[in-house]
A and B are shown apart, each in its own frame.
Chain A
Amino acid sequence: MSGGTQLENANPMVFQRSGDRLLTANDEDEDVHDPIDHREIFDLIRSISDPEHPLSLEELNVVEQVRVKVNDAESMVGIEFTPTIPHCSMATLIGLSIKVKLLRSLPDRFKIDVHITPGTHASEEAVNKQLADKERVAAALENSSLLEVVNQCLTPNRGI
């Protein structure tokens, strides 16, 4: 996929990870329905690995909690992600990893929209269109080599 040893973004800016979620009494109560909120969604995607660097999407500021939109009542989730550089060729792969992680983790009722943060990528319309096309996504995930790469990005590692 990426071929040689040249990294596209050899010196990315690294951001600090946010701490663990503080649990409230309601969170612990089994009888209270927990609507899915943006912290929960962020917790699902923050540790996804970048395809090129041994860093998470959170550490690279590719995903931020503030760019997660959730409406549990309407079963909708919207994620904006920011590629580290405007010509990042990994953008589609990163978007796909985020989408797959959420598809696998959230209840089936959810509609999941993953977009590039407006103004941060040269081909954002083309990438957004591919990510929004569920037929293209489904076919891509039947490609075993691509699925392997996505799964690697989704594998928890490095004891985070």
Chain B
Amino acid sequence: MKEDLALVQTLNAHPDSRCWFVSWSPTGTLLASCGGDKAIRIWGLEGDSWVCKSVLQDGHQRTVRRVAWSPCGNYLASASFDATTCIWKKKNNEFESLTVLEGHENEVKSVAWAPSGNLLATCSRDKSVWVWEVDEEDEYECVTVVNSHTQDVKHIVWHPTQELLASASYDNNVCIYKEEDDDWECRATLQGHTSTVWSLDFDATGQRLASCSDDRTVKIWKESPNESGQGDLSWKCVCTLSGYHGRTVYDVAWCRLTGALATACGDDAVRVFKEDESADPDQPVFSLAAQVTKAHSQDVNCVAWNPKEAGLLASCSDDGEISIWRFKPED
């Protein structure tokens, strides 16, 4: 491995607790984190250092599991074990709680904004995925509840350009949803993982999807060409990365700028994989470009690539810390 993953800074983000998730704002200038201490923290650069700009407390009664920035960067959504999703609006440099979305029967595990900014998706241990529509008056309405999984839905992600949604579940499957006559339906079920699928990420064009699992592998899925439009979609697993991760892979992040794939693992390591340029696109080959075996002192829960600055990666851990890394590819 000639590439390097260098530590830039470590933040004691959620002291005496665990940090579950980090998310960069669309401009890449802010980082939101959330954790078991029920708080959300917003971090920004001051000179050369990342500092805490604000703390959003009292929004939730239990662990905040995930935070997501709206595409315009003016709103933040937070998903909590208290079964609610809170929408925060950015006013000057502070965030105000705008509304609370209720409806899930138990813990909300994830929330994600569609690229258009008009739709929001949430998923829960109640096995459902909810799609919400937001209008110009900041009013949110649930437009669909989909029950395609037989167990806890861990994560949902939107396609980067199309109105297509993917979900990862404790039932070991990934589901892909599309809208049909105002209703969202599961159009493909991706089977292959042998244990819980924890996370997903699309590549820059949305043609491929990466999934990671408790089965200690990462799978790459590609949509097969099909008769356009109608009927079910067909996604096939074109690559499986196995033998690299010592424990559950909790998160995978596909850099939209460089194509590098980062993973967060329960063996305390952060790894970056790169695609072999010369391989057949239908049979991609990924190799390990860099790894930090003791990136954190406990499980790494999340990795996130900065959307504007190539090579800047954030990770967070059960030890409550966030680390910022710089990935230097070989020239």
Contacts and interface: CB of A to CB of B under 8 A. Distances in A.
Interface stretch (A31-39, A50-58, A130-138): A130-138
A139 B196 contact: no
Contacts of A87: none
A133 B266 CA distance: 11
Chain A binding surface SS class: helix
Contacts of A108: 297-298, 318-319
A142 B37 CA distance: 11
A139 B107 contact: yes
Interface residues of A, number: 12
A111 interface: yes
Chain B binding surface SS class: loop
A129 B154 contact: no
Nearest to B320: A108
A135 B109 contact: yes
Contacts of B158: none
A142 B298 contact: no
Nearest to B151: A129
A136 B107 CA distance: 9
Given A111-B266, A139-B107, A142-B62, A133 B196 contact: yes
A9 B328 CA distance: 61
Interface string A118-160: 0000000000010011111011001000000000000000000
A54 to B, nearest CB: 33
A134 B297 CA distance: 16
Contact of B247 (A111, A129, A135): A111
Given A108-B297, A108-B298, A109-B297, A138 B170 contact: no
Contacts of B170: 129, 133
A142 B81 contact: yes
B36 interface: yes
Contacts of B185: none
B104 interface: no
Contacts of B125: 136, 139
Contacts of A142: 62-63, 81
Given A138-B63, A139-B63, A132 B299 contact: no
B251 interface: no
Interface of A: 108-109, 111, 129, 132-136, 138-139, 142
A-B pairs with lowest CB-CB distance, top 7:
A142-B62, A139-B81, A139-B107, A108-B298, A142-B81, A109-B297, A142-B63
27 contacts: A108-B298, A108-B318, A109-B297, A109-B298, A111-B247, A111-B266, A129-B170, A132-B214, A132-B248, A133-B214, A134-B299, A134-B318, A135-B65, A135-B109, A135-B154, A136-B125, A138-B18, A138-B36, A138-B63, A138-B81, A139-B62, A139-B63, A139-B81, A139-B125, A142-B62, A142-B63, A142-B81
Interface of B: 18, 36, 62-63, 65, 81, 106-107, 109, 125, 152, 154, 170, 195-196, 214, 247-248, 266, 297-299, 318-319
